[in-house]
Amino acid sequence: MAGRKQKITAPQEAAAIADRLHSAAIHVLRRVRKQDAATGEGPARLSALSVLVFGGPMTLGQLAAAEQVKPPTMSRIVTGLEHSRLAERVTDSGDARRLRIHATPRGERLLHEGRQRRIEYLARHLDRLTREELATLDEAVKLLEGVLRDWPLER
Amino acid sequence: MAGRKQKITAPQEAAAIADRLHSAAIHVLRRVRKQDAATGEGPARLSALSVLVFGGPMTLGQLAAAEQVKPPTMSRIVTGLEHSRLAERVTDSGDARRLRIHATPRGERLLHEGRQRRIEYLARHLDRLTREELATLDEAVKLLEGVLRDWPLER
DNA sequence: AAAGAATCGTTAGTATAGCTAACTATATTT
DNA sequence: AAATATAGTTAGCTATACTAACGATTCTTT
């Protein structure tokens, strides 16, 4: 955090961009989420499953924190994933209070397929951009990733 | 739409960017939506209210279509907005089946305040970007807006 | 003009996803 | 050993989504 570039930013400018960024993000996701219906699972389950697949097995509390959701909510989400045989609860050896939640092979498969479908759909629409425009978009996404990385979760 | 530039885009590139764009959009919105809790209204109501405020009065069916939601769902959302005195149903003169839904002054005020809060919050975090980086982000958002404009709603 | 069909919205019933409060079971601290 | 802290679950509430079935109106067709 100490190594950031100087802030030479006009605040109103940031606000105007923030507004349109917010709107664009909403509309992109609204289009894309329809593709996820094909998986037969709801968004909360898919998102939690994604955390499990890409972050590896973790406790219910960690998963709840990662999804910014309270433990009772995550408990129900995991129950749903178990019923669909996409994830499993395993009692932690060494601390019987804890549960290790992990994705099943079936869960990994379903996630990757859904992700593929979603990305292809989105990419099909980005295809109308030129190579240069895609490069701009790529750079902007990198900037956003940086902002998100340094963005404290509290507040 | 006929006047778009040539497609000289490598498809895999678009897919990779699509993936990260999707992820970034999810995480930005996840952070920002917490600010909306201060309004005391849920996301579906705020989003419908936003359509009413910026799109003007419309029928329930139009509002449902704009929000990509089925009529029964929108009926309940509007009921909620009415209970909070943020919107009103008015029977259409000329076609008694139709309802004109419109935002109340109170609804407009709440929406603008919430929007202000959300934008300021997001802008505060974008502030760590330099002027140049903000310009890149701005350009990328414009590109996205263009893609969204030409993106048919069906499918 | 009357009968039938289409349209608009609501009601009923179900599922998912979020919350707080209260509880159980296990670990840790004193 | 007793008190406290931690990890999850259960219970009960609310909001948001769906489909199916219904009522009321309007349009069409005979």
Domain ranges in chain A? Answer: 38-149
pLDDT in tens, A128-153: 999 999 999 999 999 999 998 887 66
Mean pLDDT of B39-45: 94
Check: CATH 1.25.50.10 for B28-149? Answer: no
Distance between CA atoms of residues A39 and A42, nearest Å: 8
CA to C1' distance (Å), from B99 to C1? 29
What pLDDT does A75 receive?
Answer: 98
Question: Which single residue has its CA nearest the C1' atom of nucleotide D15?
Answer: B42
Where residue A88 falls among pLDDT bands split at 50, 70, 90? Answer: very high
Q: What are phi and psi of A82, to 5 degrees?
A: -65, -40
Q: Which residue has the higher pLDDT, A118 or B95?
A: B95
Domain made up of A38-149: CATH architecture: Orthogonal Bundle (1.10)
Q: What's the CA gap between B139 and B131, in Å, rounded? A: 12
Name which of A6, A125, A145, A154 to mutate to probe chain B: the one with the most chain B Cβ atoms within 10 A of its Cβ: A125
pTM recorded for the entire structure: 0.84
How far, in Å, CA of A101 to CA of A60, rounded? 6
Which residue of chain A is at minimal alpha-carbon distance from B151? A125
Cβ of B136 within 8 Å of Cβ of A141? The answer is no
B57 or B15, higher pLDDT: B57
Find which nucleotide's C1' atom is closest to B48's CA: D16
Nearest to B27 among A28, A129, A148 (CB): A148
State the residue for tokens 């975090």.
Answer: B125
Distance C13 C1' – A141 CA (angstroms) = 43
Cβ proximity of B139 and B53 under 8 Å: no
Q: What is the DSSP letter of A120?
A: H
Nucleotides of D under 7 A from a protein CB: 6-12, 15-21, 23-27
**Rounded-to-integer distance, Cα B15 and Cα A124, Å:** 8
Determine contact: A155 vs chain B, CB below 8 A: yes
How many DSSP H helices and E strands does chain A contain?
Answer: 6, 3
